[in-house]
Amino acid sequence: MSTRPAILVTGGAKRIGAAMSRAFGKAGWHVVIHYGKSRAQAEALADELPSAETVNCELGDWDAGPAMVRELAGRLEDWRALVNCAAMFDLDTAQALDPATFERAMRVNAATPARLAQNFLEHARVGGGRRVIHVTDQKLRNPNPDFFSYTMSKHAMSATVPMLSMARADPRDRIYAIAPGAILASHDQTEAETEISHRMNLLGRRTTPQDIAGTALFLAEGWLASGETVFVDSGQHLLAQPRDVLFLARQ
């Protein structure tokens, strides 16, 4: 068993999750890479890192996530951080909420991360404080009518940050959120559309997965007050955008 500090990254095999897995691995952590259906990517990434393992779990299953956390807590000797990065991002709108999309978004993006955090804070063994980091969205401050259920679920996830902070039993524990802007291509975006949409922010620059990963590492290793949300979006949340940038880039 590794003696390094451990971190679990949900959705840690692909996209922003993979960037965080790599950043923590490079920084000397033992990285537990969670995956749902991306076994090959998870195992290939684990092979790249100095100390890593993979774990499979269906986050839409009400009981599977907490069971995964309790199993890990029973064998990880210094489990310091949990990053809730996995999410579903399916389209419905303010004009037409899709019930199935809503139910899955609220389960995967809000309820399960909250339950993972609760079980982590209760069971994880650690010498110092634990860190929970939720990955939310700049849509918390800059909403639009697209991806209606997704956006509601991220608001629900965000609401758990102050509540979990108030309820923590150990004052050394910290609960945070990172709110990214547009980072990677989504759905059927072309590279040209991505280049346009991802510069629709105050700085006119593309925020990178490495920006998010670096912020997560800072929060996991520091002592910022619990309950904080850090926006990493080049100022996108300070703009008024009437639609998701996926569609604004096509106008």
DSSP string for residues in 107-154: IIIIIHHHHHHHHHHHH---SS--EEEEE--GGGTS--SBSHHHHHHH
Residue 96 DSSP symbol: B
**pLDDT digits over 157-196, tens only?**
999 999 999 999 999 999 999 999 998 777 777 888 888 8
223: number of Cβ within 10 Å? 11
Residue 122 inside a domain? The answer is: yes
**Domain span including residue 238:** 6-248
Nearest Cα residue to 246 out of 211, 199, 179, 194: 194
Mean pLDDT score, 59-88: 97
- When pLDDT is cut at 50, 70 and 90, the band that residue 250 belongs to is confident
Residue 10 has pLDDT above 90, yes or no: yes
pLDDT at 26 (0 to 100): 98
Residue 217 inside a domain? The answer is: yes
- When pLDDT is cut at 50, 70 and 90, the band that residue 1 belongs to is low
Residue 137 has pLDDT above 70, yes or no: yes
Backbone φ and ψ for 234, nearest 5 degrees, come out as 55, 30
**Structural domain total, the chain:** 1
**CATH number assigned to the domain comprising residue 207:** 3.40.50.720
| Residues 86/59, Cβ–Cβ less than 8 Å | yes
Residue 73 has pLDDT above 70, yes or no: yes
Host H or E run for residue 94: none
Residue 1 inside a domain? The answer is: no
Residue 76 inside a domain? The answer is: yes
Which carries the bigger pLDDT value, residue 196 or residue 25?
25
Residue 97 DSSP symbol: -
CA 37, 7, 59, 147 torsion-angle sign: negative
User: What percent of the chain lies above the pLDDT cut of 70?
Assistant: 99
Residue 213 inside a domain? The answer is: yes
pLDDT at 239 (0 to 100): 95
**Two structure tokens written together for 69:** 């956390």
Mean pLDDT score, 110-123: 98
